[in-house]
Structure formats: structure tokens, C-alpha cells
């Protein structure tokens, strides 16, 4: 069948049903004059012929060929440019050069071993191609291996499927129209091929069933089409030729009877062949196992003929000559192994050919070498037929399915041949021949289900179920099986409520049909639990999983692999409920069973290792977790092809561990590798992709790359809203992630808007008081805290705490997190004693739930240290900081960024105690640790640089100090290009250096820059703004600009009075500053009033001998004397 000639770069047929292709490549071939003649001549040799005039299209087509061999023709002029790119490909069998000047291109024969010759006329070319194609058909052989001790792998399923088809062919009733249908299809395909059309006409007119061997040996259209269909297991084609295959088997059986009546008791026959190394290695590695030939095997009684054929000259250099030596025990096997002497039907009777029927299996006995040839000794048997019968019996026991026709169609589905399975069952539905129509409809639905056509599948499932329930008596057991499949579709579509209804209806039917503990009931309990788990109804899910486990432990052996599956599921629930130790116990029990049941690198073990790794990661046992995730990855990389989606999941898990360890570059690399795999294997909006995008966004947020992080989080949100509209949990998390990132940018109002969206969604979909709601409330509280809206923030934190204390009746580390948040609010409000109480409550919980050196405990110790530092109880503060640091040293033996924070905090205390050398040492140690953990110029360096600068400033080393502060400023301005409150802090430090040097103009400039930033990022009246106002006041005071200075001091006082209670130290200091200005302006009455107000507050807050009280008292006496 050839398309019409046109000016396109490709001329030829659209489909090849044979095993060979002839391609002619020449950009200058005359498309208008002799192409028709050339094509007609070539089609007499090989039906499938394509002409290419475009080099790239030709190469692309060649590279796409997998199951056929290519015989390539090109000109001498074009040979080099195409052969250099394709001659090495295995699909290229032979190459032919066609040109006028033969001598000019003979050098090509040395360069390319697959070139057969150079031809100057079309007739000789066609003859040579015919010889090579004939040789190919005699050499071609495909086989399937089977090991009886393996489970039903794809390879063994193909073995069984092939034998099952032969079994079914033998049972099919005579179909008068089968021959007519086959002839019509062949006539359409070979349209224009005069030679094949003549043979088809002869076949249509004269064929009789007893002529099957004769027609097969003609090596015409029927030989080529049947053999390719057998090699490729093309069920459609084989079904079309079913009548001929049946006839041929019947003919061979008749001829076999003649052999039984002869005097031969055993027969040894030989088949010479040339195998490529991969095929040879398969046979060498599988000695003792069974082999099935995917087609009819031809052999010879003559050993010498087989050896000659194996050693026949071939242009292929990658082949190994092999002779199959096949022993046939005629007396023992008799009618079990069918083969026949077909020499009388052959055009070459001297070859003494024996032809084996399709159902023959060969056991590979041994392999030896005879000169250049490898001899593989095999025993012919009917073991394949027995294996197939055993498989049928097994399926019939497990499924109660009696029909072999339906078993065959289901096996096609198991092989992944979903289209063929669907087509097979649709044809069976048209001609059911007393088959069970309900099961046929079900299996159409099943094929559609596997293809992802869920709605169409569900329609057929429902049709099948209607038939089953509307019979007398109703087929309750079969209906339950179908309802499970409908539930699974709804489950995959995340229509959880509907899926749960189907699963529960299934359970009712199963409990009527089966005893308690039956595997179908267990399976259904697991389905129900799986839905409840996804609905976050963990208590109910756990109840169903526990029921399932109890049944399994009663009715199954203790090491049954089904128990391991349920143990894993229970572990998942416990991990979701953050009961990590209990989860770990279940996972490890599952692993023990799997390691007994499976080989060490089984893929199911990988999933359990992954679960253990996640549980250990949740417990912050990162090194152990990483080890388990790495083991899972190693297994998946061994079992799966490169880039498999489950490999991506392992990479994502490893990335998460590195993320938790704050090894962000490593984490980012693993996430990117995982993302690349997911984007290749899943739709562009798949939920797994959104998860990795979310994780990557989190990494970028940790690295302060906020805009990039937002880009990833928004992509994740968009996918989740599109792909997973009912997955409110993930959508709420995406909203929270965006809010958190905006929070870190200082975009607090926008952050709160996203948090509020998440909270609204959670309050709508979650049961009241769900713990995820507490997380969002905490985040809103955190944002309000950043905005210094402490009263509002405290309200949200207390709501979160109320939920958590109800949800976690026995305490939980999340409660400690919230207590720390409340403590932070109270600290910011100057309520140090109350703050300390909350921090100590948090510490008590963490010491209960964590090991003695946990990092969260260290964090709370640091918080307590900050309180004591604020209270100027420096010894206590240092003690808590040192305790925190010792824990961190044990948890992070190689150093960690958290340790740098603690070192800087100790350095700050030492500076306040005027121990400047020690302070400098701590700040420098912090910087060294940060430089070890992060690349040059990382944002976290700024705090250490500022600490070093302050210590040097205290030591009057102003130039060095200023350099360090400016180094911190440079880093901050890089990470916060639009400004940030941390920059204001550094600007203040630089201003202080200039101030201390008496360079007031420079100091004033930096203080004013700091004020501008604080007014931008803090709400009106914030204490940080007040501090800047005071700093500017000091400079103006030093410049004797008392009136201006007093104005700034007054603005600071107004803010403090609004923000604090009337007895706060900052208010007293402000009154004192204003008094000093009045005194310098020679306004003693006004100065006296302010000094008295300051002293009244100092008397309440400070000890009697405190310098501020003493100095203020003296100032009052001095001013009084002036009045």
C-alpha cells in the first residue's frame, strides 16, 4: 500500500506489516519520471518502500524504527553524509550504493562494513536486496524465557500470553468469514504490488485447510505477515489470521502422526543462526530455564547444513554464530510435542526441514563451543502448555473466572496492552458466543481505566454492575468486585465522599459473601482507611487499618507480606498524627517482614525504607534519615529505568533532609533533579510537581531569595488550584507559604491577606479546632508581632494555644512553639517576667518530648537567655546561652549556623559587660562558623560583622570597626535592595562610630538614613523610630542645636508614652534628655520639672544606688540652685 507521488520529502506507505523496510535516500532523485518504475521493481522484492529527499527527515525516521530491519539505498555522492550518522544503528541491516561511477566510490566499502556492494543497474540492485532479505528471514528468531521460580513478571507474562493465545486459537469455532476478512485486509494492504496481489488472488481461489503448510512454505505475504505478528505478539494481526494458524497447527499434527508411525524413537535436529551479543548473553545466563520461540521454529536434520548457515558470510560484525541442537523424544512425548517433517512441502527438500508448532517449549540444557560456533543443546517439551494450564487454573481459583477467552484479554491488560485488550473485548462483545457479557463490559471498563479514561471506564463498570445485580439470584460477590473498581476511580479523582460510599457498600456485600478475615474484606478495609486518611480523619482511618491488621494476624502467617503493607499504612497515620516513635516501630516491623519475603533490592522494600527515613527526619535524626532515604534511592535506581517517577520521590525526600539541615545548596540540587523527573513523567500541573515547587520555594526563602521563592510558591498554588481543587489542605499550605515569604520580605499586610485566605479555607473545611488552623493562627500572630501590633498578635497566639492544648491532650512540641511565640510577644512588650514564664513552660514540654540535646531545646534556652539579657542579668543570660551552645555542639559536631547565632548572643552580653576582647573572640568565632556553612557574602554574616564592628568600636578602633559595619551594610543592601529594618540597625552602628569620633555631621547623616527606613517599615509610633529620634537628638545636642534636639527628644517621648506604661525606663530617659536640653538653654524651671518626672520613674524601677538615679538627683539639686 503506497501513497500517491507528490513533491514532499517523503514518498511511500504509511504502515508496515512486514519485518523489513527498503529506504532510498537521494535528494536529487527524479520524482516525476522514473520513480514509479523504480518503486514497482522494489515492491516486487519488498512491499514496504520509502523514498526520502530530505536528510534530516530520513535520519529521524530511521532512528524511530524499533521492530523492523532497514535495507538502505543511497547514491555514492550522498553516502558519506548519511552513513556517518546511521551506519552503526542496529536497525540498519544492509546498505546498497547505487551510482554510475562505481570506481569513484569503492573506498566506501572499506569505511562502512554494512555496504553489500555498489550497483550501476536497477536489476542487479533488486536481486542483491532480495538475497539479503531472504537471508534475514532465515536468520530472524525471537524468543521469550521463563523461570518457574519467579513471580509473574512482564517477561513470564508474555511467555504465558503467547501460549494462552495458541490455546484459545485451538478452541475457536470455525468462522466462515474469517478467510474472507483476512483476504480483503491483505488485498488493501498490498494494493499496487502485482506479485503479492497475484498470490492473494490464488490463495482466495484455491486455499484449502490441508494446504496450510504448503502456503506457509511459499514465504509469500502470509508467511511474512503471520511471522511478524507472532514475533511482535500483535494480537490484532494474529486474531485476523486465526483460521490459518489453526489450519497450520492441524496440518502439523497430521504430519506428526506419520512420524509417530515410523521407526524413529528420538530425533535430533539443528538450527543455524547468528545472534547479537545481547541475545546470546540472555541464553548463556539462562541455562536450565525454559525458552519459547515467538513463532514457528524451522530446523534441519542435517548438522552440517546448520553449521554452514551459522557461519554464512554476513556484513554484520556484532553477531555470534550459534547452532541449536534440539533433542526430540518422539516415543515419550508422542502427541504432547508437535513437529513435522516438511521437506516435501519445501522448495529446497534437500535441507530436510523439520517445523515445530507454536506450543513447543525448549529447555536450555547446556552450551559448548565447536570451533567458531557455539552449540546450545535444548530439549523439546510441552512444559509451556502445562504452565499455561496451571496459570488458567490459578486465575480461575482466584477470580472464579471460568472463561479462557476472558482470562486471555485480562492478561493482555496485565501486559500493558490496554488498547489491544479493549479492542479484543469490544470484538468479543459483538460476538460473545455465550461468554458472560457483564464480565466483557467490566473488562472494557478495566482497559479504559488503565488508559486513564475514567468516565468511560466508570460507565462500563456501572453497566456491568447493573447486569450483575439484576439477575436472579443477584451476583453479590461479583458486584462487590466492580464497586471496588468504581470506588478506586473516584478515589483517584479525589471525590473522596463518593468513593467512600462505594467502598462501604462493597464492604457490606463482602461481609455477606466471605468469612471474617478474607483477603477481599481486608483489602476493602484498607481502601476505606486510605480515603479517611486523605480526608485527614486519622482516628477513623486508624480504626479501619487496625481491623485489617487484626484479621491478617489471625488468618495470615506472621511474615505474610500483606501484613507489612498494613503496618506501613498504620505507620503513615501515626506519622500524620506526629507520633513519630510509634510510626517508626510499625515501619520497622513492616521492613522485617519484607526483608524475609523479598530479595534485598525489592522495590517494596524501597518504599518502607523511605517511610522510615521520613519518620526519622520528623524526629530530626537527619543523618539516620539520610541513610534510609539513600538506601531507598539505590534500590529504585537499580529496579527502575533512569528518571523513573519514584526515583524523583526519593530525590525529593533527600532534598527535604538537606533542607532541614540547612544545607540549602544540596537541597536545591536534589529538588531540581526531582522536578526534572516529575515534569518528564507527569502532566505539567501534577500535584507531585507542585510539591517539589513548594519545597524549592522554601529553600529559596531560607536563602533570602524571596522574589524567586514567591515565583515557585505561586506556581505551586496555581497547579494545586487547577489540579487539586478539592485538595484544600495543599492549597491552604501554598497560601501559607506565600504569606510566610511575604512576611520575610517585610510585606506584612500582604502576608496577612494570604494567611487569612488559608485560615478561611481551613475553618470552612476542617473540623473545628483542627491543629492545622493553629499553625495559620501562629503565622498571623507572627506577622502582627513583626508589625509591633503586640496585643493583636497575642490574641492570635492564644487562640492557637487553645486549639493545640485541646488537640494534644498529653502535650506536644507544637505547643512549645506557640509558647515561645507568646513569650516573644511579652518580651517585646517589656513584660519580662511573664515572657520568662511562657519560655520556661515551653522548655518543660521540649525536655519531655525531645532527647536531652535537641536543637529546639537549645532555641528555647536562647530565648530565656535573651530575657535575662534584657533584664541586665548577664550572668544568668550567659549561663543559658552556654547551655544552648553545648547542646548545639553535640547535635551539630561539624558546626551549624544556629551555633553562630548563640556565639553572637554571648558576644553581645560580653560587650555589655565591657569585656570587649572576649566579645570580639565570640563574634569572630561566629563569623568563621558562618563562613564554613555558607558561601561568601551570605546575609547571615551581617550580624557577626556588626558584632565585630561594635567590639572594635568599644575598643576605640574606629576605622576597623567602621569597615566591618560597612561590610555588613553591603551584604544587607544586596539581599534587601528595597530596604529592610536590619539595614537601619547597621546604619545606626556606623553613625555611632562617627559620633564617638566627634564627626557629628557624618553621624547625623547615617542616623537620618536609619530613621527614614524605620519610618517606612514600622508603624507610626514604633519604639525603633523613637530610638532613632533619640539618636538624632543626641547629635544635635552635641552640635549645641538644643532646640532641635529637644524637638526630637519630645517626639520620642510621645511615642514611648503611647507605647509603654507610664513607668517605663525609656520614658524616664526621654524626660532626662529633654531636661538636659532645657538646662543647657538656661530654662531651669522647665528642666527641673522634667528631671523630677524622670526621677519618679527611676525610683520605681531602679535600685537606690543605680547611676541614673544618682545623676538625676544631682541634676535636680544643681538646677534648683539656679532658680
Q: How many CB atoms lie within 10 A of CB 156?
A: 19
The CATH number corresponding to 934-1017 among 1.10.3720.10, 1.25.40.10, 3.90.180.10, 3.40.1350.10 equals 1.25.40.10
* pLDDT tier for residue 720 given thresholds of 50, 70 and 90: confident
d(CA 66, CA 621): 49
Over residues 176-190, mean pLDDT: 85
* pLDDT tier for residue 176 given thresholds of 50, 70 and 90: low
Going 189 to 191 to 197 to 201, the CA torsion angle's sign is: positive
* pLDDT tier for residue 1021 given thresholds of 50, 70 and 90: confident
Alpha carbons within 13 A on the beta-carbon side of 234: 18
Res. 265: pLDDT tops 60: yes
Instruction: Give the 3-state secondary structure percentages of the chain, helix then strand then coil, rounded to 5.
Output: 70, 10, 25
Res. 264: pLDDT tops 70: yes
* pLDDT tier for residue 170 given thresholds of 50, 70 and 90: low
pLDDT of residue 1: 34
Which residues make Cβ contacts (< 8 Å) with residue 305, sequence separation at least 6? 270, 272, 351, 352
Query: What are the angstrom distances between the C-alpha of 1099 and each of 327, 845, 1093?
Result: 114, 38, 10
By C-alpha distance, which of 273, 350, 352 is closest to 308? 273
Over residues 925-953, mean pLDDT: 92
Q: Report the SS3 class of residue 92.
A: strand
Buried b (16+ CB within 10 A) or exposed e, 526-556: bbbbbbbbbebbbeebbbbbebbbebbeebb
d(CA 691, CA 671): 10
d(CA 45, CA 124): 12
Class for the domain spanning 766-844: mainly alpha
d(CA 313, CA 604): 49
Strands in 937-1090 per DSSP E: none
Cross-sheet strand order for the sheet of 361-370 = 143-146, 290-293, 361-370, 373-381, 319-329, 266-276, 297-300, 353-356, 339-341
User: Maximum distance among all alpha carbons in the chain?
Assistant: 147
Which residues make Cβ contacts (< 8 Å) with residue 113, sequence separation at least 6? 315, 316, 317
Share of the chain above pLDDT 70, in %: 93
Over residues 662-668, mean pLDDT: 87
Average pLDDT taken over every residue of the chain: 87
Range with the largest mean pLDDT of 243-247, 373-377, 1061-1065? 373-377
For 223, phi then psi, to 5°, come to -65, -45
Which grid cell is 2?
A: 503506497
Over residues 32-41, mean pLDDT: 76
* pLDDT tier for residue 463 given thresholds of 50, 70 and 90: very high
pLDDT of residue 398: 58
pLDDT of residue 313: 66
Total number of residues shown for the chain: 1123
Q: Specify the pairing of strand 361-370 against strand 373-381.
A: antiparallel
* pLDDT tier for residue 757 given thresholds of 50, 70 and 90: very high
Q: How many CB atoms lie within 10 A of CB 1086?
A: 16
> Using omega within 30 degrees of 0 as the cis cutoff, is the peptide bond preceding 473 cis?
yes
Q: Specify the pairing of strand 69-74 against strand 115-119.
A: unpaired
Over residues 801-823, mean pLDDT: 89
pLDDT tens by residue, 271-292 = 999 888 888 888 888 888 888 8
Q: Report the SS3 class of residue 297.
A: strand
Long-range contacts formed by 797-803: CB under 8 A, 24+ apart: 797/821, 797/822, 797/825, 798/822, 799/774, 800/773, 800/774, 800/775, 801/774, 803/769, 803/770, 803/771, 803/773, 803/774, 803/777
Share of the chain above pLDDT 90, in %: 51
Range 856-886+897-928: architecture per CATH = Alpha Horseshoe (1.25)
pLDDT of residue 437: 92
pLDDT of residue 30: 63
pLDDT of residue 151: 46
Crossing angle for the helix pair 855-870 and 832-849, to the nearest 10 degrees: 160
Res. 317: pLDDT tops 80: no
**Secondary element (H or E) of residue 512:** helix 496-513
pLDDT tens by residue, 630-648 = 999 999 988 777 878 889 8
Res. 400: pLDDT tops 70: no
* pLDDT tier for residue 427 given thresholds of 50, 70 and 90: confident
- 92-96, 478-482, 702-706 — which is least confidently predicted? 702-706
Specify the higher pLDDT residue, 1080 or 454. 1080
pLDDT of residue 402: 63
pLDDT tens by residue, 121-144 = 999 999 999 988 887 887 777 777
The superfamily in CATH containing domain 20-139 is Response regulator (3.40.50.2300)
Which grid cell is 746?
A: 517585610
pLDDT of residue 11: 42
pLDDT of residue 213: 94
Res. 602: pLDDT tops 60: yes
pLDDT of residue 722: 78
pLDDT of residue 609: 96
CATH number belonging to domain 152-392: 3.90.176.10
Q: What angle do CA 961, 966, 968 make, to 5 degrees?
A: 100
Res. 983: pLDDT tops 90: yes
pLDDT of residue 31: 54
pLDDT of residue 373: 94
* pTM (predicted TM-score): 0.55
DSSP string, 321-349: EEEEEEEEEHHHHGGGS-EEE-GGGSS-G
Which grid cell is 409?
A: 484479554
Buried b (16+ CB within 10 A) or exposed e, 896-923: bbbbbbbbbbbbbbbbeeebbeebbbbb
Specify the higher pLDDT residue, 161 or 703. 703
Specify the higher pLDDT residue, 348 or 234. 348
Over residues 331-360, mean pLDDT: 86
Q: Report the SS3 class of residue 370.
A: strand
For the chain, report the end-to-end CA distance as a whole number of angstroms.
Answer: 121
pLDDT of residue 5: 31
In DSSP terms, which residues pair with 327 in a beta bridge?
A: 268, 379
* pLDDT tier for residue 4 given thresholds of 50, 70 and 90: very low
User: What does DSSP assign to residue 209?
Assistant: G
Res. 152: pLDDT tops 50: no
Specify the higher pLDDT residue, 613 or 1063. 613
Amino acid at each position: 500500500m503506497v501513497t500517491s507521488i507528490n513533491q514532499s520529502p517523503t514518498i511511500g506507505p504509511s504502515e508496515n506489516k512486514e519485518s523489513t523496510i527498503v529506504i532510498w535516500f537521494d535528494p536529487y532523485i527524479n520524482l516525476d519520471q522514473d520513480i514509479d518504475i523504480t518503486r514497482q521493481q522494489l515492491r516486487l522484492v519488498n512491499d514496504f518502500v520509502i523514498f526520502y529527499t530530505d536528510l534530516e527527515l530520513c535520519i529521524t525516521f530511521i532512528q524511530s524504527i524499533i521492530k523492523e530491519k532497514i535495507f538502505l539505498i543511497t547514491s555514492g555522492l550522498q553516502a558519506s553524509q548519511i552513513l556517518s550518522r546511521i551506519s552503526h544503528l542496529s536497525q540498519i541491516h544492509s546498505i546498497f550504493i547505487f551510482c554510475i561511477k562505481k570506481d569513484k566510490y569503492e573506498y566506501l566499502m572499506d569505511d562502512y562494513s554494512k555496504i553489500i556492494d555498489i550497483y550501476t543497474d536497477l536489476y542487479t540492485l533488486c536481486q542483491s536486496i532480495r538475497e539479503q532479505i531472504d537471508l534475514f528471514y532465515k536468520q530472524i528468531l525471537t524468543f521469550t524465557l521463563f523461570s518457574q521460580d519467579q513471580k509473574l513478571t512482564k517477561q513470564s507474562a508474555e511467555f504465558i500470553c503467547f501460549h494462552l493465545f495458541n490455546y484459545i486459537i485451538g478452541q475457536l469455532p470455525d468462522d466462515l468469514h474469517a478467510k474472507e476478512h483476512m483476504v480483503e485486509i491483505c488485498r488493501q494492504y498490498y494494493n499496487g504490488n502485482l506479485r503479492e496481489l497475484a498470490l492473494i488472488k490464488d490463495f482466495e481461489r484455491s486455499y484449502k485447510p490441508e494446504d496450510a503448510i504448503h502456503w506457509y512454505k511459499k514465504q509469500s505475504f502470509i508467511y511474512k505477515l503471520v511471522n511478524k505478528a507472532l514475533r511482535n505478539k500483535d494480537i490484532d494481526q494474529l486474531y485476523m489470521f486465526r483460521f490459518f494458524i489453526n489450519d497450520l497447527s492441524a496440518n502439523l499434527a497430521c504430519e506428526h502422526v506419520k512420524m509417530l508411525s515410523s521407526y524413529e524413537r528420538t530425533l535430533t535436529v539443528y538450527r543455524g543462526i547468528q545472534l547479537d551479543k545481547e541475545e546470546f548473553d540472555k541464553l548463556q545466563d539462562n541455562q536450565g530455564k525454559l525458552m519459547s520461540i515467538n513463532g514457528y521454529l524451522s530446523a534441519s536434520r542435517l548438522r552440517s547444513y546448520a553449521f554452514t548457515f551459522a557461519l554464512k558470510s554476513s556484513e554484520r560484525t556484532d553477531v555470534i554464530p550459534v547452532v541449536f541442537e534440539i533433542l526430540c523424544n518422539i516415543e515419550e512425548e508422542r502427541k504432547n510435542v508437535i513437529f513435522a517433517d516438511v521437506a516435501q512441502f519445501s522448495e529446497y527438500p534437500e535441507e530436510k526441514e523439520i517445523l515445530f508448532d507454536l506450543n513447543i517449549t525448549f529447555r536450555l540444557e547446556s552450551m559448548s563451543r565447536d570451533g567458531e560456533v557455539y552449540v546450545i543443546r535444548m530439549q523439546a517439551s510441552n512444559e509451556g502448555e502445562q504452565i499455561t494450564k496451571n496459570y488458567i487454573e490459578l486465575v480461575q481459583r482466584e477470580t472464579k473466572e471460568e472463561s479462557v477467552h476472558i482470562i486471555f484479554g485480562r492478561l493482555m491488560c496485565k501486559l500493558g496492552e490496554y488498547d489491544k485488550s479493549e479492542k479484543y473485548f469490544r470484538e468479543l462483545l459483538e460476538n460473545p458466543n455465550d461468554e458472560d457479557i457483564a464480565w466483557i463490559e467490566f473488562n472494557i471498563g478495566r482497559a479504559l481505566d488503565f488508559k486513564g479514561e475514567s468516565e468511560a471506564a466508570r460507565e462500563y463498570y456501572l453497566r456491568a454492575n447493573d447486569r450483575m445485580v439484576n439477575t436472579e439470584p443477584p451476583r453479590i460477590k461479583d458486584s462487590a468486585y466492580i464497586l471496588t473498581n468504581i470506588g478506586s476511580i473516584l478515589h483517584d479523582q479525589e471525590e473522596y465522599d463518593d468513593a467512600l460510599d462505594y467502598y462501604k457498600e462493597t464492604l457490606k456485600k463482602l461481609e455477606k459473601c466471605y468469612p471474617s478475615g478474607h483477603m477481599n474484606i481486608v483489602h476493602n478495609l484498607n481502601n476505606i482507611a486510605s480515603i479517611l486518611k486523605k480526608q485527614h480523619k486519622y482516628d477513623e482511618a486508624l480504626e479501619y487499618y487496625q481491623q485489617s491488621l487484626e484479621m491478617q494476624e489471625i488468618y495470615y502467617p506472621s511474615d505474610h507480606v500483606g501484613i507489612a503493607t498494613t503496618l506501613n499504612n498504620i505507620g503513615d497515620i501515626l506519622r500524620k498524627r506526629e507520633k513519630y516513635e510509634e510510626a517508626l516501630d510499625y515501619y520497622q516491623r513492616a521492613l522485617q517482614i519484607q526483608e524475609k519475603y523479598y530479595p534485598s533490592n525489592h522495590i517494596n522494600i524501597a518504599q518502607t525504607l523511605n517511610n522510615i527515613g521520613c519518620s526519622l527526619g520528623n524526629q530530626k535524626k537527619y543523618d539516620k534519615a539520610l541513610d534510609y532515604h539513600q538506601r531507598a534511592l539505590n534500590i529504585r535506581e537499580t529496579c527502575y529505568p533512569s528518571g523513573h517517577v519514584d526515583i524523583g520521590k526519593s530525590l525529593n525526600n533527600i532534598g527535604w533532609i538537606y533542607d532541614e539541615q540547612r544545607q540549602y545548596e544540596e537541597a536545591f540540587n536534589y529538588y531540581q533533579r526531582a522536578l526534572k523527573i516529575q515534569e518528564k513523567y507527569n502532566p505539567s500541573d501534577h500535584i507531585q510537581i507542585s510539591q517539589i515547587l513548594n519545597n524549592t520555594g522554601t529553600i529559596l526563602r531560607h536563602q533570602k531569595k524571596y522574589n524567586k521563592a514567591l515565583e515557585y510558591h505561586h506556581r505551586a498554588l496555581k497547579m494545586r488550584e487547577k489540579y487539586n481543587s478539592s485538595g484544600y489542605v495543599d492549597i491552604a499550605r501554598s497560601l501559607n507559604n506565600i504569606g510566610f515569604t511575604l512576611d520575610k520580605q517585610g510585606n506584612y499586610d500582604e502576608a496577612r491577606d494570604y494567611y487569612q485566605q488559608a485560615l478561611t479555607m481551613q475553618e470552612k473545611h476542617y473540623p473545628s479546632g483542627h491543629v492545622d488552623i493553629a499553625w495559620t493562627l501562629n503565622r498571623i500572630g507572627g506577622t502582627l508581632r513583626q508589625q509591633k501590633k503586640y496585643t493583636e498578635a497575642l490574641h492570635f497566639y492564644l487562640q492557637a494555644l487553645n486549639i493545640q492544648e485541646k488537640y494534644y491532650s498529653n502535650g506536644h512540641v507544637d505547643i512549645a512553639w506557640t509558647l515561645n511565640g507568646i513569650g516573644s510577644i511579652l518580651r517585646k512588650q517589656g513584660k519580662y517576667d511573664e515572657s520568662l514564664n511562657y519560655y520556661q513552660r515551653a522548655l518543660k514540654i521540649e525536655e519531655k518530648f525531645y532527647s536531652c540535646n535537641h536543637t529546639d531545646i537549645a532555641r528555647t534556652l536562647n530565648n530565656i537567655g535573651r530575657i535575662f539579657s534584657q533584664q541586665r542579668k548577664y550572668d544568668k543570660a550567659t549561663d543559658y546561652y552556654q547551655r544552648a551552645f553545648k547542646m548545639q555542639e553535640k547535635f551539630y559536631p561539624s558546626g551549624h549556623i544556629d551555633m553562630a547565632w548563640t556565639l553572637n548572643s554571648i558576644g553581645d552580653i560580653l560587650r555589655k559587660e565591657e569585656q570587649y576582647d572576649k566579645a570580639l573572640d565570640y563574634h569572630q568565632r561566629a563569623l568563621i562558623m558562618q563562613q564554613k556553612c555558607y558561601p561568601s557574602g551570605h546575609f547571615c554574616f551581617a550580624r557577626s560583622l556588626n558584632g565585630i564592628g561594635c567590639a572594635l568600636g568599644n575598643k576605640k578602633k574606629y576605622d576597623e570597626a567602621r569597615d566591618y559595619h560597612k561590610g555588613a551594610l553591603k551584604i544587607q543592601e544586596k539581599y534587601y535592595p528595597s530596604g529592610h529594618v536590619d539595614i537601619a540597625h547597621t546604619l545606626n552602628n556606623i553613625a555611632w562610630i562617627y559620633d564617638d569620633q566627634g564627626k557629628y555631621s557624618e553621624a547625623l547623616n547615617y542616623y537620618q538614613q536609619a530613621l527614614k527606613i524605620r519610618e517606612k517599615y514600622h508603624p507610626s509610633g514604633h519604639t525603633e523610630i523613637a530610638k532613632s529620634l533619640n539618636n538624632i537628638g543626641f547629635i544635635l545636642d552635641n552640635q549645641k542645636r538644643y532646640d532641635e534636639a529637644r524637638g526630637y527628644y519630645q517626639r520620642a517621648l510621645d511615642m514611648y508614652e503611647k507605647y509603654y506604661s507610664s513607668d517605663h525606663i525609656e520614658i524616664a530617659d526621654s524626660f532626662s534628655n529633654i531636661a538636659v536640653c532645657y538646662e543647657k538653654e538656661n530654662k531651669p524651671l522647665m528642666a527641673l520639672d522634667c528631671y523630677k518626672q524622670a526621677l519618679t520613674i527611676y525610683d520605681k524601677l531602679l535600685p537606690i544606688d543605680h547611676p541614673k538615679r544618682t545623676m538625676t538627683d544631682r541634676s535636680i539639686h544643681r538646677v534648683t540652685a539656679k532658680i
